Amino acid sequence: MNRSISLKSIFYFTITVLTSHLVAAQDWNGYTTSSFQDQEKMEAMLLQSMDFPSYREHLKKLTERPHIAGTPANEKVADYMAKVMEGAGMKVDLYPYDIYMSTDGGTSSIDLVTPIRLPLNQQEYIMPEDPFSSDLTLGKGWNAYSGSGDVTSTVVYANYGTKEDFEKLTEMGIEIKGKIVIARYGGNFRGYKAKFAEQYGAAGLIIYTDPADSGYMKGLVYPNGVYYDESAIQRGSLLTTDYEGDPLTPFEPSLPLDGKKKIKRMDPSEASLHTIPVLPIAYGAAKEIFARMNGKVVPSGWQGGLPYTYRLEGGKEFTVRVQVDQKKDFTRINNVVGTFKGTEYPDEWIILGCHYDAWAFGATDPNSGTAMLLSLSEALGKMVKEGHSPKRSILIAHWDAEEHGVIGSSEWVEQMRDALGAKAVAYLNFDGGVSGKNFGAASSPTLKGLVTEMAQKVDYPYTDKTLYDQWRGTKETPSIGNLGGGSDHIGFYMHVGVPSLSGGSHGPTLYHTNYDDFHFYETYVDPEFKMGGTIGQWAGLMALRMANAEVIPYDIKRYATDLKGHFENAIKKIQQFDSGFKGFEKVDKAIAVLEKNTTVLDAALSKALSGDKLSKKQLTSINQQLIALEKSFIDEKGMYYGSWYKSLYASTDPFSGYASWILPGLEYEISLTSTDRLEEWDQRYAAAIESLANKILVLANSLP
């Protein structure tokens, strides 16, 4: 999962779903009365078909060896997944791409030079309690897409290395040019730490995990607890292009170099890759730096958990050397996609996915999700073999090279762009989807009802509650987040407009370290191995509910409900720097029409389904129109910070890399404290909402 440890949960603006409205918001639910009775039997069958013990066996097999994208070990994982899915009766296809990337960190070192010489540790300790920690194929900590270089200089501490942190250093008169910056993980995507460091003239960057963020300040450290010990290192990609996927083929799939179709590739010098050397270290190594710094004391909020007063500079006498020689070249990766072909609507797709490449063993991230999808493949396969095939096609996809920058899924989306626009009903993402016992989800508006309704049908294994009741806890209703960045839903949702969700169960993680292994999982994450089957049931129910409905059961009323709240929030943010701002007049009018038209469609669909007289041709037409609804927010001009991000509704935050930007056109202006383009955005958002409202009314009027 391509995200920072302190941001392991998806950022979200809390949206609640009232249980009482689950049915009221959509009385028709996509089924006729008779077909829904059959569907309930299918869903009961799925719950019974899920083999809970198989999850453990799949996870153990997937995590036998470290398997970084582009390595032979990762190819073996791909072979295993294909074998399991073929055994379940799925048609399995490989989608190969040649990516410009590294498969290891090359050679690197980090040393104190003056006043003493001291090489710093770059790899986790071998622990007798954890047999996986002695695997000979484990490597040093490294950051993909680091620049290469050998620099020796004095040190500047930049807190989390955010845009605001570098601005603060400049305000305080701290010279960054030519220095080696040290910044702690958290606050933003690690690639932006490198980007900002380079922009401000730094010669190199060291990124470390502070014990205040994940270490002894939080609780017991591994192997006695779940927090980073003094040797644990967070690896991760630094890729920060203004598009997702292979850095040399924006907007186009990086098809094999030896294939029939030739793709034009940029020269690497054109791809805005980092040029300064960057290395991640553990806090046990970082303390050797902080112990020797003697500059000004840091401002409030910058002090971490090491037993020293943190300083902004190391001083002229204290120098550090950072050396990286990281080779990049074209590397073959493979997405593995299995399909249960739909019996009635094979060209309408429900896609479930998780990446399978990892920084080391990847037990929680990502392969807990991979193992769950393999168990689900087997459960669905049992049903298919017994004559209970889905009406729509169910695709289960395992993406490669996500850890290098959400690459495999983005390339597939670019390759399949037209087909996805016409055929994709939904994309369900389960990156690290069974990494604990705490359930949660983030979703586009039209899937929020489905998320909660299916959670009510699954038993939570460690209490006498349903998954839904365990999720909501003491609240009347649970909170569903909005999708941000950092994983494989990005291309589907933000580039081509496929309704998407990301969810599962989460908990303790030794994120991107060599210790994220099967021993850690069975000791601390889920020793009873019951959550894999539980999340598999939830995911399978959602897939089957969408696959078998006569009419795709989108929660269409959520569009107007959520848009109202999002625009109200945006207006409040704008008024903080422009007190005279009155709002978005055109948008308000468009939302009012949208609200009215969705009510008309709701009634028309309820009537049409209750009559049980819709022909297959009519149903096909209805569903094609429903699939087109989300595309109303796809704007070919895209965002000003990157035209690859085409959704007006949601985007990755281009400054942190993780946060969910809802109404990203406005959020960008807010981040710049600018009102210059607000009139333009009023027009562009109103046009998108009007398009959505018109599509809804046309569909309503076409119903018998």
Instruction: Provide the phi-psi class of 657: left if phi over 0, else alpha when psi is between -120 and 50, else beta.
Output: left
Average pLDDT over residues 432-444: 97
pLDDT score at 1? 65
pLDDT, tens digit (0-9, with 9 covering 90-100), for 444-477: 999 999 999 999 999 999 999 999 999 999 999 9
C-beta of residue 205 within 8 angstroms of C-beta of residue 180: yes
pLDDT of residue 24: 35
The pLDDT-based confidence of 659 (bands split at 50, 70, 90) is: confident
The pLDDT of residue 310 is above 70: yes
Give the Å distances, CA to CA, from 76 to 70, 343, 353, 407. Answer: 11, 32, 19, 19
The region of weakest confidence among 10-14, 22-26, 255-259, 614-618 is 10-14
Q: What is the pLDDT of residue 4?
A: 42
pLDDT band of 11, cuts 50, 70, 90: very low
pLDDT at 484: 83
User: Is the whole model's pTM more than 0.75, yes or no?
Assistant: yes
Helix (H, G, I), strand (E, B) or coil at 586: helix
> CA-based angle 421:243:251, to the nearest 5?
50
Q: What is the pLDDT of residue 657?
A: 74
Strand-strand pairing, 155-157 and 149-153: unpaired
Q: What is the pLDDT confidence band of residue 485, given thresholds at 50, 70 and 90? A: confident
Can you tell me the distance from the alpha carbon of 275 to that of 192, in angstroms, rounded to the nearest whole number?
13
Q: Are 496 and 412 in contact (CB under 8 A)?
A: no
SS3 at position 73: helix
Helix (H) / strand (E) element for 319: namely strand 319-325
What is the β-pairing status of strands 424-429 and 319-325?
unpaired
Averaged pLDDT score across all residues of the chain? 94
Whether 670 has a pLDDT exceeding 50, the answer reads: yes
CA dist., res. 440 & res. 455, Å (int): 10
Using CB atoms within 10 Å of the CB of residue 59, give its burial: 0 to 12 exposed, 13 to 18 middle, 19+ buried: buried
Q: How confident is the model at residue 28 (pLDDT cuts 50, 70, 90)?
A: low
CA trace torsion 434, 436, 438, 444 (10° rounding): -30
Show the tokens assigned to 479: 């909170």
Cα–Cα distance measured from residue 656 to residue 505, given in angstroms and rounded to the nearest whole number: 24
- Residue 44 contacts residue 375 (beta carbons within 8 Å): no
* pLDDT tens per residue across span 549-600: 999 999 999 999 999 999 999 999 999 999 999 999 999 999 999 999 999 9
Instruction: Find where tokens 């104190």 sit.
Output: 112
Residue 20: its pLDDT value, please? 30
pLDDT score, position 27: 55
Answer whether residue 658 shows pLDDT above 80. no
Q: Would you state the pLDDT for residue 702?
A: 95
pLDDT tier for residue 2 given thresholds of 50, 70 and 90? low
pLDDT of 5: 37
- Rounded average pLDDT over 337-348: 98
d(CA 88, CA 138): 32
The pLDDT value recorded for residue 29 is 86
Please list, residue by residue across 321-347, b when 16 or more beta carbons sit within 10 angstroms of its beta carbon and e when fewer do. bbbbebebebbebbbbbbbbebeebee
